Amino acid sequence: MNFFLTIVLDGLIQASWLFVVALGLTLVFGVLKILNIAHGSFYALGAYIAATAVTIIAANGLPPSAGFVAMLVSVALIASAVGLLLERGLLKMFYGRDEVVLLLVTYAVFLILEDLTKLIWGANPIYATQPYELFGNVEFAGLYYVGYDLVLIPISAAIGFLVWFGLNHTVTGKIVLAVIHNEEMSVSMGVRVNRVYAVAFAFGVLLASLAGALTAPKISMQPGLSSDVIILSFAIVVIGGLGSVGGAAVGAVLVGLARAASVHLMPQAELFMIYLIMAAVLMFRPEGLFTREKARRI
């Protein structure tokens, strides 16, 4: 029983940060219809910025809690700015092109960001462990957990709730939903779709880098981080259905549990398991678990 609980808890911890990354990816796809390959790079960017912030705070002798706040604030500011700049300065030029061409544009952005992070932070692993001890250790059903890991679960649940609430119960959110549903109709009703695009993209970048910042104290930051994360979040959004918030949550939990289960039961099969689930879901429900099939043009 304990063993089972370990898997579930580990899975949920994994799922919590993966959900935040995937949420950003699925929102950007919903609004802009772009499958953003560079999304993982924004996760890495957030993690690196967080590491720098935490290191600066620690070097000045401030407590780890200040480091925790500083990393979230600095990441939020820089990421939104980067997102807005990229959308207005670059992506805008490619709207109206084929889906696959847009995919390649984000692939180019991925390549560029990959080297830029290497240029700024170097190729050696860096760490930002100070905030990790912030919440101490927690005993849970006879097992010891790092408090920070457990705190991630409610934080990401709260983020998920806020996004859901914002989308469904505020005017801005409903405008965004309208654009997701039918862009042309929204334009003719007077929605400034360009603005919605910019905000949605920046928000997606923000979510990815917040997830990066939140996980920064747990991991070591090194090149290759972004390509691993993007592959996981692709699997999640495809399982859940592209553009669906609930789908991202279910997908994240599935992928988190699959990862945790295979780490504990069959470490050889970790990556393998996740893609097997994704391939299986696509075989039976090509549009993902949570999206309805669209009518087709005849």
- How far apart CA 192 and CA 177 sit, in angstroms, is 13
Stretch that binds another protein, among 114-122, 169-177, 192-200, 213-221 (CB under 8 A): 114-122
Give the span between the Cα atoms of 168 and 206, in whole angstroms: 20
Residues 127 and 149: their CA atoms lie apart, in Å, by: 16
Question: Out of 2, 60, 61, 99, which residue is the one contacting another protein (CB under 8 A)?
Answer: 99
H-assigned helices in 90-224: 99-121, 147-169, 171-181, 183-188, 193-215
Instruction: Lay out the site mask for another protein across 38-77 (x = CB under 8 A, - = otherwise).
Output: ----------------------------------------
Closest approach of another protein to the CB of residue 24, in Å? 17
Kindly report each contact of residues 92-100 with a partner whose C-beta sits within 8 Å and lies 24 or more positions away, as own/partner: 92/194, 92/197, 95/197, 99/33, 99/34, 99/35
CB 232 within 8 A of CB 248: no
Residue (8 or 269) nearer to another protein, CB: 269
| Residue 269 contacts another protein per CB under 8 A | yes
Residue type, 76: A
What is the C-alpha separation between 81 and 227, in angstroms, rounded?
A: 22
Whose Cβ is closer to another protein: residue 218's or residue 259's? 259
234 binds another protein, rule: CB under 8 A:
yes
Using the rule CB under 8 A, is 27 a contact of another protein?
Answer: no
Is 297 among the residues that bind another protein (CB under 8 A)? yes
294 belongs to the binding site for another protein (CB under 8 A): no
Cβ of residue 213: shortest distance to another protein, in angstroms? 24
Determine contact, residues 68/232, Cβ cutoff 8 Å: no
As beta bridge partners, residue 137 has 146
Binding positions for another protein, rule: CB under 8 A:
35, 37, 90, 93-94, 97, 99-101, 103-105, 107-112, 114-116, 118-119, 123, 227, 231, 234-235, 238, 242, 267-276, 278-279, 282-283, 286-287, 296-298
